[in-house]
Amino acid sequence: MKLPTPLVAASRRLTRSPPSTNPTNSRGGSRRFLRIGGTFGLLALVAVFVLGVGTGAALLLSNQAPTEDSVETGPQLPGDSSPEAGFARDMMVHHAQAVQMADIVRDKTQSQDIRIMAKTILLNQQAEIGQMRGWLQVWGVSDIETQPHMAWMDHPTTEDRMPGMASAEEMGKLQDAASGEFSDQMDTLYLQLMIPHHQAAIPMAEAILERTSRSEVKQLATAIIASQQEEIRQMQESLQSRGIPLENSLAPDTAAANEENPHHHPE
């Protein structure tokens, strides 16, 4: 940094006299102290100058308008009535019943395929429930429904249960079958209930993909579609292997509910 001309001139005057060879000489001592004092004075002037330049630059920068690069602009968090919050709440409820059904049959079935499928559904959907509950906490919205189910996707339900979900009577029948002697009946009813349950979740995941720009929501919705389509295929094959035609794959109460709320597409 180039010092101003007055500072340079002061520096030359203060350092012009040669050092005294007699430290006890009063005049030499005075000159020595003069040089020391002048050096500190020069350093003080330099410090003041540098501080003034730095302060002026800071003030100049602070008065400039902020640019897009200087401001962090992330996506706005979903609100209480957003499609993302509605999807998370509804899918948590939907998943919770699938977890309940899987928990009923996993230790009672004699079929290894049904046991593996039930454990997979239970673990995966429990984890997804936790993920969606975490979203709601981060977004600062309640996990309690404030609107009818599926209102966020423009298809509000008129009943407490969403399409594909088993009725209370059907859940009771599944529990009774699990307590009986013939696990084949339980396995068949489980498949008849879980297939439409999975089928109804797919349109919900597709609907949020059309309505959200958030990457974490898109990622989970895409994963739900892929996993449940594959599990539907496996369950349909398992049902056919038991001699049950696919057109009879729905339990009676579930079939009636789906006719009243036809917002899903069977595979």
The C-alpha atoms of residue 19 and residue 28 are separated, in whole angstroms, by 8
For the question of whether the overall pTM of this predicted structure is more than 0.85, the answer is no
Backbone conformation region of residue 244, classed left if phi is above 0, alpha if psi is from -120 to 50, else beta: beta
Q: What does the block give as tokens for 87?
A: 């999807």
pLDDT of the residue at 34: 41
pLDDT of the residue at 180: 86
pLDDT of the residue at 245: 86
* Segment 116-141, tens digit of pLDDT: 999 999 999 999 999 999 999 999 99
Q: For residue 87, how many other CB atoms are within 10 A of its CB?
A: 26
HEC states along 185-248? HHHHHHHHHHHHHHHHHHHHHHHHHCCCCCHHHHHHHHHHHHHHHHHHHHHHHHHHHCCCCHHH
CATH class of the domain at 83-260: mainly alpha
Mean pLDDT of 175-196: 93
Asked if the model's pLDDT at residue 239 lies above 70, the reply is: yes
Asked if the model's pLDDT at residue 164 lies above 90, the reply is: yes
Asked if the model's pLDDT at residue 70 lies above 50, the reply is: no
Asked if the model's pLDDT at residue 52 lies above 80, the reply is: no
Asked if the model's pLDDT at residue 236 lies above 70, the reply is: yes
Q: What does the block give as tokens for 129?
A: 């429930």
Q: Where are the domains of the chain?
A: 5-69, 83-260
